[in-house]
Amino acid sequence: MASTDEPDETARWTDDAPCTGRVRAGSLLLSSTDLSEPTFRRTVIYIIEHNDAGTLGVVVNRMSQTAVHNLLPQWSNLAARPRAVFIGGPVKQDAALCLGVVRRGVDTDRLAGVRPVDGRVVLVDLDSDPADLHECLDGVRIFAGYAGWSLGQLEDELARDAWLVASALPNDLLVPADRDLFATVLRRQPWPLPLLATHPIDVDRN
């Protein structure tokens, strides 16, 4: 991964449940349960771009202690609860990136200030006027930094079973920080991957 050193031991999921799948915008990456490196341990990454230039995504289950109101007060009312900035990854943490979930029935092609990512998920221009989007979005999540891979780098990690590829649901982006999104996504995967939902963060405590 371009944003951190790789773990010494690559993780394995289960012999009956391959972790590889087709990565695209709108995919989720779940870190291997064997990955102990703190930056990506039990992380869920939402993929925003995956093309010939590489891969870009944001960690959606790492909340910071910074309130959206303190950083971008104009977006506070649209921010999903808890209204905090999330840590999108270790790259460029001094820059903010915003994803939003469009309400059902809204035509994203006619919305100013947004760029479609996948389905109802859009990339929101933080320089736009949030008042213009208030009636169109279920909410937004603002991230400091992102996770990135150069061309071919993610594929190498997938070949070593470092990640599970899953499909995202729009509201995965807006799940409160006190809910275990990592376990929630695993529970909706084909058997036997749901068994990993109860895998402890520290196996020494098991």
Tell me which of 95 and 8 has the higher pLDDT: 95
> How confident is residue 194, by pLDDT bands cut at 50, 70 and 90?
low
Domain map of the chain by residue range? 27-199
> How confident is residue 1, by pLDDT bands cut at 50, 70 and 90?
low
In sign, the C-alpha dihedral spanning 21, 144, 89, 5 is positive
| 117 vs 165: CA distance, rounded Å | 17
Q: In terms of residues, how long is the chain?
A: 206
Looking at the predicted structure, is the pLDDT value of residue 13 above 80?
no
pLDDT in tens, 79-125: 999 999 999 999 999 999 999 999 999 988 888 899 999 999 999 99
- In sequence order, which residues have a C-beta less than 8 Å from that of residue 31 and are 6 or more positions away? 11, 40, 41, 42, 43, 45, 162, 163
Mean pLDDT of 152-157: 93
* High-pLDDT (> 70) share of the chain, %: 82
Fold of 27-199: VC0467-like (3.40.1740)
Both tokens of 51, joined, read 């093309």
Contact 20, 1 (CB under 8 A): no
| 206 vs 204: CA distance, rounded Å | 6
Looking at the predicted structure, is the pLDDT value of residue 172 above 90?
yes
* High-pLDDT (> 90) share of the chain, %: 64
Looking at the predicted structure, is the pLDDT value of residue 3 above 90?
no
| 117 vs 168: CA distance, rounded Å | 12
Mean pLDDT of 135-162: 94
| 70 vs 66: CA distance, rounded Å | 7
| 111 vs 130: CA distance, rounded Å | 12
| 96 vs 85: CA distance, rounded Å | 9
Q: Which of 12-16, 51-55, 136-140, 179-183 has the lowest mean pLDDT?
A: 12-16
